[in-house]
């Protein structure tokens, strides 16, 4: 609610140590771009009743030392009567240009921390809408709710529904039986060495996925047609496996980086018949088992929407990051897909009293919580990769008659030496965004590896 302190998840993002906690979604359309005044009028009409979009973020007062830093909390302040049209502008440049500039620049303290940008397309007859936000303000589900309202079949959003905070019943995922169930809150796993190519700085890239390859990959599961999300997780697991195999096959860092930068292939470019890039990784793991040093589990961090069905239009942050096992020890891509089947099966259950007490206790001393837990939860061994999937499933979405052709996600800057894989989908196809914080070339290298792994999985179709 406006004027209240941020809950624990939002407070943690407000204190994000790797850069401004900005994220967003870009929608690409075909057609002549609308006039800026037309877009502002549409935003004013469809979003006018949403208090969340008129709030500013107020940081804790006083210096960031002493008791105030340990107990101080951010809060929301109301700005009644704020003109939403002021948050909409027009800019030249590509999505990559916008990410390089806006997503590494904090929002002004005196304005609500979001903006909608009209971008010219790369070709004539194309344009994009880029919604940028401070992640403490909104989550991915909130973004799709807002953007759907702008489409021709949408309408003004309901202010009361946008404030309907999910109650005692929350959606979550069924605990994964693999690896002995879900990990403990601070349980570490195994880090995965990323390529570390180029300057040590955040990097971001986008690639399009071929619809026929994605369709074939879904058919590679043994029991049933896999979901796109399951294919997504299995493919990311394949990318991480290639990173591990390269590092184990070539102990020197430079050699390992070179192997991964070449798409996970061995020096002569060959692949083994079972779909693994190199058998050396398997031999190294076998030797580790013989010595009693079996590597730990590799975990993927996945945001899960916690909204029950009656709170679907709530605007804010109502998600939890869960960790699921990445089957990096399986050499066959189809076997990895089978291992990922059912990992994100949703269930709705009452929120436990212990969970509420634990969260409120940690939120009371956010500085101490971040200091104590940050070294664990931001470490590569906690979750070397995060996987986020946003999909607009409705057919024929248009904005003032201009058809939607693509959805692209821009995630926050990830923790150091980790990667974020973000899949954006609509009826016209899917795009993969990769963000890293390990090397200026790493995002492109991992995106190429993802396309390669997806093709390998599609080739396993019975």
Q: What is the pLDDT of residue 357?
A: 75
- pLDDT computed for residue 77 by the predictor: 92
pLDDT of residue 346: 78
The model's confidence at residue 53, banded by pLDDT at 50, 70 and 90, is: very high
List CB contacts of 61: < 8 A, sequence separation 6 or more. Answer: 68, 72
Of the candidates 132, 146, 286, 263, the residue with the CA atom closest to the CA atom of residue 195: 263
- Tens-digit pLDDT profile for residues 220-258: 877 788 999 999 999 999 999 999 998 776 555 443 444
The reported pLDDT for the residue numbered 247 is 79
Phi, psi (degrees; rounded to nearest 5) at 353: -60, -35
Contacts of 122 (CB under 8 A, 6+ apart): 94
Answer whether residue 158 shows pLDDT above 90. yes
Whether 443 shows a pLDDT value over 70: the answer reads: yes
Residue 5 DSSP symbol: B
CA angle 261, 263, 269 (to 5 degrees): 105
| Cα–Cα distance for residue pair 208/147, rounded to 1 Å | 21
Query: What integer pLDDT is reported at residue 331 of this predicted model?
Result: 94
pLDDT mean over 273-294: 41
What confidence tier does 379 reach under pLDDT thresholds 50, 70, 90? Answer: very high
Element (H, E) at 196: none
Our measurement of the distance from residue 213's CA atom to the centroid of its chain's CA atoms, rounded to an integer in Å, reads: 22
The answer to whether 279 and 262 are in contact (CB under 8 A) is: no
Q: Does residue 314 contact residue 140 with C-beta atoms inside 8 Å?
A: no
Least confidently predicted of 189-193, 221-225, 281-285? 281-285
pLDDT digits (tens, 9 = 90+) for 326-378: 999 999 999 999 999 888 887 777 777 777 777 777 777 777 777 777 788 89
In terms of C-beta density within 10 A (0-12 exposed, 13-18 middle, 19 or more buried), how is residue 223 classed? exposed
Higher pLDDT, 410 or 289: 410
Helix (H, G, I), strand (E, B) or coil at 305: strand
% of the chain exceeding 70 in pLDDT: 84
pLDDT band at residue 285 using 50, 70 and 90 as cut-offs: very low
Strand blocks (E) in 135-285: 169-173, 203-209
CA distance 307 to 220: 31
Helices (H) and strands (E) counted in the chain, each on its own, are: 14, 16
Predicted local confidence at residue 100, as pLDDT: 86
Q: Which of 32-41, 124-133, 156-165, 254-263 has the lowest mean pLDDT?
A: 254-263
Lowest model confidence (mean pLDDT) among 65-79, 201-215, 426-440: 65-79
The pLDDT, as a whole number, for residue 184 is 77
For residue 181, name the pLDDT band (cuts at 50, 70, 90). Answer: low
* Start-end of H helices in 308-441: 333-340, 353-364, 366-377
Name the pLDDT band for 97 (thresholds 50, 70, 90): confident
Task: Give the orientation angle of helix 228-249 with respect to helix 253-261, to 10 degrees.
Answer: 140
How are strands ordered across the β-sheet holding 385-391? 203-209, 429-436, 419-426, 385-391, 299-305, 319-325
Range scoring the smallest mean pLDDT among 188-197, 283-292, 327-336? 283-292
Query: Are 132 and 103 spatial neighbours (Cβ–Cβ below 8 Å)?
Result: yes
pLDDT, greater one: 460 or 299: 299
Average the pLDDT over 437-446 and give the result: 96
* Most distant pair of Cα atoms in the chain: their distance: 69
What's the chain's length in residues? 462
pLDDT at 430: 97
pLDDT at 176: 60
In percent, how much of the chain has pLDDT > 90?
58
If pLDDT is split at 50, 70 and 90, which confidence band does 139 have? very high
Whether 291 has a pLDDT exceeding 80, the answer reads no
**pLDDT value for 351:** 74
Average pLDDT of the chain, as a whole number: 84
Which of 4-18, 130-144, 224-238, 414-428 shows the lowest per-residue confidence on average (mean pLDDT)? 4-18
């Amino acid at each position: 609610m406006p004027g209240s302190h941020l809950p624990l998840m939002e407070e943690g993002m407000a204190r994000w140590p790797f850069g401004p906690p900005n994220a967003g979604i870009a929608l690409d359309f075909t057609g002549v771009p609308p006039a800026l005044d037309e877009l502002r009028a549409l935003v004013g009409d469809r979003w006018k009743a949403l208090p969340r979009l008129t709030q500013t973020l107020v940081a804790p007062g006083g210096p960031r030392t002493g008791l105030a830093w340990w107990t101080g909390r951010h809060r929301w302040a109301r700005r009644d009567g704020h003109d939403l049209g002021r948050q909409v502008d027009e800019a030249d440049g590509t999505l990559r240009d916008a990410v390089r500039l806006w997503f590494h620049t904090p929002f002004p303290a005196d304005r609500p921390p979001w903006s909608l940008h009209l971008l010219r397309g790369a070709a004539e007859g194309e344009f994009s809408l880029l919604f940028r936000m401070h992640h403490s303000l909104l989550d991915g589900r909130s973004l799709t709710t807002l953007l759907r309202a702008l489409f021709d079949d949408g309408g003004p959003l309901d202010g009361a529904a946008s404030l309907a905070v999910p109650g005692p019943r929350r959606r979550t995922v069924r605990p994964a039986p693999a690896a002995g169930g879900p990990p403990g809150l601070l349980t570490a796993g195994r880090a995965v060495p990323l390529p570390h190519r180029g300057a040590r700085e955040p990097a971001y890239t986008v690639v399009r996925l071929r619809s026929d390859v994605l369709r074939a990959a879904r058919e590679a599961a043994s029991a049933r047609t896999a979901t796109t999300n399951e294919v997504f997780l299995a493919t990311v697991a394949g990318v991480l496996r290639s990173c591990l195999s390269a590092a184990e096959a070539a102990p020197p860092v430079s050699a390992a980086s070179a192997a991964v930068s070449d798409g996970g292939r061995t020096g002569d470019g060959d692949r083994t018949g079972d779909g693994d890039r190199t058998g050396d990784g398997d031999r190294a793991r076998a030797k580790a088992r013989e010595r009693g040093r079996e590597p730990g589990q590799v975990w993927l961090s996945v945001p899960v929407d916690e909204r029950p069905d009656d709170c679907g239009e709530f605007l804010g942050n109502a998600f939890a990051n869960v960790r699921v096992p990445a089957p990096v020890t399986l050499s066959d891509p189809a076997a990895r897909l089978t291992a990922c089947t059912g990992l994100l099966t949703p269930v709705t259950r009452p929120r436990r009293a212990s969970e509420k007490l634990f969260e409120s206790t940690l939120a009371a001393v956010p500085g101490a919580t971040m200091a104590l837990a940050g070294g664990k939860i931001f470490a590569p061994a906690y979750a070397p990769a995060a996987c986020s999937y946003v999909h607009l499933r409705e057919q024929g979405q248009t904005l003032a008659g201009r058809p939607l052709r693509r959805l692209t996600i821009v995630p926050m800057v990830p923790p150091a030496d980790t990667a974020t894989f973000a899949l954006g989908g609509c009826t016209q196809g899917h795009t993969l965004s990769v963000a890293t914080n390990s090397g200026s070339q790493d995002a492109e290298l991992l995106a190429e590896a993802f396309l390669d792994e997806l093709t390998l999985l599609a080739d396993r179709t019975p």
